[in-house]
Amino acid sequence: MKEVIKIEGGRRLKGEVTISGSKNATVALIPAAVLANEPVTILGVPEISDVRSLSEILRILNVDVREEGDMLRIDPTKMRNVDLEQDVVTKLRASYYFMGALLGKYGHVRIKMPGGCYLGPRPIDLHIKGFEALGAVVEYERGGYTIHAEELTGAKIFLDIASVGATINIMMAAAYADGRTTIENAAREPEIIDVATLLNKMGANVKGAGTNVITIDGVRNLNGCVHEIIPDRIEAGTFVIMAAACADEMKISNIIPKHIEALTSKLEEMGVNMEIGIDSIIVRNSGPLHAIDVTTKPYPGFATDLQQPLTALLTQAQGVSHVTDTVYSERFKHCVELQRMGAEIEISKGSSTITGPRKLYGDKVTATDLRCGASMIIAGLLAEGTTEIHDTYHIDRGYDDIDGKLKKLGAVIYREKIED
C-alpha cells in the first residue's frame, strides 16, 4: 500500500495560516547542538520527518533527545562518537552537518554519504575543502567519509560557490579550532545567521553571519542554552504564492517579510494584491496577473526553493514567463507534472518558459522532490477536478501539517491509501 494526497480543486481559500519553524535552520541547529557540553533546548521545531530522522541519529550517538510539542531538549552530556553508517543517515542531505559537528567536537567522524532530494549533482567538495583547510584528513571509502584531524587550526577558506551547507559545516568544525577561521564568499541565507546565533548563545565566537565574510574564533567550551528557530521563509513563500493563486483573502502569519523580499517584489511585478505587515502578509484577490521573468540566486536573490511553487502560479499569468535556475540547473521535473495537468511549458537546460493563462485539470502526478510537491499542491488547488499526488513522503520532509493548514483555509485535501 502507498499513500497519496488528493485535492479537489477550483475552491477559493480564505483565512489565516501560521508559518512553522524553518526546516533548513532546524536540520542544522540539531547537529550543532551536540557541540555543547550541556543540554540545549530548541523551540519552534517543525513537525517534519527530517526532524524525526535527525533525532534518530542523535540517539545512535547516545544523545538524550526529549520532544515536548514544538520543543526539543538535546542533552549531549553522555554522547559517544560512534560511526554513522545506518540507513537513516542516507534519508536526508542534512545528515552531513554531523560531519562538521563531530569533527569540531572530537576531531574525528565516520559517516555514510548523505541522501536528500535529487536536484542534479550535489557535491560536497567545498565542505571537504574547508575541513582540510582546518587540518583534517578526509578519506572516502565504502560509501562514506572518514574525517580525522590530530588538531584543528583556524584557517582562511574561500568558497568557490556561496554554499549554504559548506558555510554552516565549516562554522561548526571551526568552533573549537585553535585560532581564527575566516570564510570568504560565505553564503548569506537567514538560516546561517540562525546557526551562528545558536553557537554564540553556547559561547562560541562567530562574527559576520549574514554577510559574505564570517570569522570564527575557536573557544575551549560551549555551554547549554535555549534557542527559538526563525520562521520558515520557504513555507511562508509557498503559502504567499498559494494565496496569490487561489485566495479571496489570506493572512500568512509568523513570518519575517524581509526573508522573502525577492519573492514579494516579483509578485508585485505580477500585480498580486499584498499588504505587507511587520510579521505577516495579507494577500487579497488580485484579478488577472502579468507574466514575469525570474532568475534564482543565492540569498538575498530569488530562492531556488521557490521557483517550483511559483511556476504553478505562472501557468495562470497572462503572457510568457521565463524561469532560470542558476543554483540547480536540473530542478525542472515539476514542469513535466504541470504539463500533464494542462500547463504550456517548454523546458531547456537550466530554464523553463511558461505561457499562460492555461486551465489546469486534475490528474495523477508525482512529487519528484520536496518543492515539486509544493508546486503540485498549488496546481491541484487551481485545477478543475481531483489531483492525486504520489510520493507524498517528499512533502512531509519539509512542510509541517500542510494538509491541516490547507483544510483550515477551506481546501478539500485528504490522504488515501492505494495499492502500490
Residue 370 near ligand EPZ by CB under 6 A: yes
Residue 224 near ligand EPZ by CB under 6 A: no
Q: Binder to ligand EPZ among 33, 94, 260, 379 (CB under 6 A)?
A: 94
Q: Binder to ligand EPZ among 232, 235, 305, 400 (CB under 6 A)?
A: 305
Residue showing cell 557540553: 37
Q: Is 117 a catalytic residue?
A: yes
Residue 188 near ligand EPZ by CB under 6 A: no
The answer for 312, left when phi > 0, alpha when psi is -120 to 50, beta otherwise, is: alpha
Residue 184 near ligand EPZ by CB under 6 A: no
Nearest residue (CB) to ligand EPZ, 242 versus 317: 242
- Listed residue (249, 245, 251) closest to 270, CA to CA: 245
Nearest residue (CB) to ligand EPZ, 188 versus 390: 188
Cβ burial, residue 288 (10 Å; 0-12/13-18/19+)? exposed
Q: Which stretch binds ligand EPZ (CB under 6 A): 59-67, 117-125, 172-180, 258-266?
A: 117-125
Q: Binder to ligand EPZ among 4, 17, 27, 138 (CB under 6 A)?
A: 27
Report the nearest approach of ligand EPZ to the CB of residue 189 (Å): 6
Please state the separation of Cα 317 from the chain's center in Å: 27
φ, ψ (nearest 5 deg) of residue 156: -100, 125
- Listed residue (273, 295, 271, 296) closest to 283, CA to CA: 273
Report the nearest approach of ligand EPZ to the CB of residue 370 (Å): 5
Axis crossing angle, helix 304-314 with helix 370-382, rounded to the nearest 10? 20
Nearest residue (CB) to ligand EPZ, 187 versus 291: 187
Is 166:159 a contact under the CB 8 Å cutoff?
yes
Local structure of 20: helix, strand or coil: coil
Nearest residue (CB) to ligand EPZ, 251 versus 394: 394
First to last CA, the chain: 5
Residue nearest to ligand EPZ (CB): 165
> Which spans of this chain sit near ligand EPZ (rule: CB under 6 A)?
23-24, 27, 93-94, 117, 121-127, 161, 163-166, 187, 234, 304-305, 327-328, 370-371, 398
The residues annotated as belonging to the active site are: 117
